[in-house]
Each structure stands twice: as C-alpha cells, then as structure tokens.
Chain A
Amino acid sequence: KAGVTQTPRYLIKTRGQQVTLSCSPISGHRSVSWYQQTPGQGLQFLFEYFSETQRNKGNFPGRFSGRQFSNSRSEMNVSTLELGDSALYLCASSLGGGGSPGNEQFFGPGTRLTVL
C-alpha cells in the first residue's frame, strides 16, 4: 500500500506570494490533517479534513486555508507569505480521524517551504 505523498518536496517563495501544497493520503483513508513544524514551535496543528469538510482548525491566521477533494486528496494554501511561514509542512492521513485506536495518523515526508 502506498504511503502518504506530498508535493512538492521543496519550495522557495518570496514574501507576499502565495503557495499551494498537495497531499495524497493512503488509499481508503478519509481524514487528512495538516501540521506546521518549525524548530522553535515544534509540530503545530493547522486543520483536519474529513470527507471534504473541515472538521477542526488550529490557531493560525486566515491566510492558511485548505480543502479536501472527493478522492480525499487535500491541498493547503498560504496567501501573502511571511518570513515566519518558513517551515516543514506535514500532512497526515488516517481512516476516520487521528487519535483513537484504529485511527492512527500516517505522515507524509513533508514539504519544506522557504520564504525569502
């Protein structure tokens, strides 16, 4: 079974630009969660999608948005990029929502975003 894939793996943007990251979950998984990882803040929850609906959202500004398609693939968008958005963006898929037995999260390799 193929794992979680994320594209692109690396991205360099300048301040003010916008970016779209993509995540393909494990086949059969309906939940996709997004995280931002930085050395200073660690792994921080951005949002979770389940069956095309945003189920939960972390404490990030509205510049961070996402969506999920009918095939469970998900995209994350960051508009008006700031230097502080430089981070590793990880997505994780699970069957029905991470956290409970049988719904463990499987992470992708991440997209390394650098904002100049």
Chain B
Amino acid sequence: SQKIEQNSEALNIQEGKTATLTCNYTNYSPAYLQWYRQDPGRGPVFLLLIRENEKEKRKERLKVTFDTTLKQSLFHITASQPADSATYLCALRDFNKFYFGSGTKLNVKP
C-alpha cells in the first residue's frame, strides 16, 4: 500500500520568510495529490490539488510542486504570517483508498 512521509519535526520560521514543506510517497505516482491544513481540535481543510501532469500550482501565497520522478511534492508558503501556524498534511488517493501523511507542524514566529 502507499506510504506517505512528511517531516515529523516541527518547522520553525520567522514571519515574512518562505516555509517549505516536503511530502514523499513510495508507490507509483497518483493522478492527483492534495494538501490540507489542520488546526488543533479541528478537521483538515483542503488547500490545493495538483495533477500529475502539472509541475506547479499556485494559490495566493501558496505554491505546490509535484515531481513524479522524485515521488515528491513540495508545499511553499511565501511571506509567512503567524496565522499560517498549523499542521499541514499531504494526501493522495491510491486504488480508491485515501492516504494521508502524518503532517508537518509549522510555527511562524512574529
């Protein structure tokens, strides 16, 4: 079955900097890969979806890349703000089952 790896260590960055989070998967590349944000005690919130034939996708300060050769997706938040502090999860669908990474906690310090 598919395995998704995200850095379990928290990422601490200064306000205004760019945060970069990594998502690696093990099996064949999915058709789509998704990124979610989760705040404590709440359900994940969908942020972005990128298709396998898209190298990059942007939405406001967010940017996602998808490298099927490396089996990796990178999630960037530019001009980060303390309000961006949360856990970010990547997810993909493989054989009709959904797999989520364990998430990376982002702390943006003012």
Asked if chains A and B come from one complex, the reply is yes
Do residues A99 and B43 form an inter-chain contact, with CB atoms below 8 A? no
Q: Closest A-chain residue to B31, C-beta based? A: A100
CB distance from A102 to the nearest CB of B (A): 9
Q: Which of A14-22, A78-86, A103-111 interfaces with chain B?
A: A103-111
- Tell me, yes or no, whether B19 is within 8 Å of chain A by CB: no
Contact A56 B49 (CB under 8 A): no
Which residues of B sit under 8 angstroms from A109, Cβ to Cβ? 41-43
Question: Are the C-beta atoms of A108 and B43 separated by less than 8 Å?
Answer: yes
Is A76 among interface residues, defined by CB-CB distance under 8 A?
no
Interface size class of A (residues with CB under 8 A): 20 to 34
Number of B positions contacting A (CB below 8 A): 25
B97 proximity list for chain A (CB < 8 A) = 45, 56, 58
Within 8 A of B (CB), among A9-53: 33, 35, 42-45, 48
Question: Is A87 located at the chain interface by the 8 A CB criterion?
Answer: no
Q: Which of A42, A100, A101, A109 has its CB near the most chain B CB atoms (within 10 A)?
A: A42
15 more CB-based (< 8 A) A-B contacts, given A4-B43, A101-B32: A42-B101, A44-B100, A45-B98, A45-B100, A48-B96, A55-B96, A59-B1, A98-B93, A98-B98, A99-B93, A101-B51, A104-B49, A105-B34, A106-B46, A109-B41
**B residues touching A (Cβ–Cβ < 8 Å)?**
1, 30-32, 34, 41-46, 49, 51, 89, 91-93, 96-103
